[in-house]
Amino acid sequence: MPERFFRRLGHGAFGAWFTAAFLAVALPVVGLAALLPGLHRRRRLVRSGAAACFALTATRLKVSGLHHLPDGGCIVVANHASYLDGIVLTAVLPPRFGFVIKREMTRVPLAHFLLRRIGSEFVERFDAHRSANDARRILRRARDRASLAFFPEGTFRREPGLRRFHPGAFVTATRSGLPVVPVVIRGSRAMLPAEEWLPRPGTIEVIIQPALPVPPDEPVRSLLQASRQSILSELDEPDLGSRG
């Protein structure tokens, strides 16, 4: 019992420390992003802020496979296990990447403002007409050789496992011809599980897998399944894609 008590006390202290560090970094970053001209400069600023958040809390961020990212445009698809995942990819990916995010994030004022300032795209999940408009806008960016990052599961749960993928990232890749780069995030679920607000101490590992080329006649489903298998090969979590 005492050991469990002190463990929980330590987790609570770390969570408070992490939250304080995050706010100490995030608030100045939002203010500077409001004033700083140039999309690339703002992305570099936010990338540095995300990395600083992990450094200030002594959270180890292990990254491998950066050489697998193509020099030109590409589509990154990553598993989604925690609210930390967006901060993780922001810290890891080069500043040329924009993020594709569910439109519900527009209800969080400061986050919405910052995400727009760094060129994020928002997608509607429940209104078919707006969803189609969002998809066309994102496809135009991809055809301009932009680099985009998606969480194709769309959401996350406490339960470990890779959930089913929505096809949007893979439709974008097949219609634009951009290669798909699967990315594995490990450790974020244990550090900040769903329905909890304070992170625990932990190590986060990011594994960038080899890019998947997209031939002109590549079926969307084949590309989706190949990406899933690439992520599952390093994820150490079960495949929940057959559910629902």
**For 71-123, what is each residue's pLDDT tens digit?**
989 999 999 999 999 999 999 999 999 999 888 887 888 888 999 999 998 88
DSSP string, 178-197: --EEEEEEESHHHHS-TT--
Structural domains in the chain, CATH included, are: 2-235 (3.40.1130)
Taken in order 52, 181, 221, 232, the sign of the CA dihedral is: negative
Residue 160 burial by Cβ neighbours in a 10 Å radius (0-12, 13-18, 19+) = middle
Looking at the chain, the whole-number percentage of residues with pLDDT higher than 70 is: 95
Per-residue model confidence (pLDDT) at position 201? 94
Three-class SS of residue 102?
strand
Amino acid at 204: I
**Average pLDDT of 67-71?**
95
Q: Which of 14-18, 58-62, 75-79, 215-219 has the weakest average pLDDT?
A: 215-219
- In tens, the pLDDT along 186-230 reads 999 999 998 888 999 999 999 999 999 998 888 999 999 999 999
Per-residue model confidence (pLDDT) at position 241? 82
Per-residue model confidence (pLDDT) at position 102? 84
d(CA 50, CA 25) in angstroms, rounded, equals 8
Which tokens hold the place of 34?
Answer: 């409001």
* Whether residue 16 has pLDDT greater than 60: yes
Do 223 and 105 touch, CB atoms closer than 8 A?
no
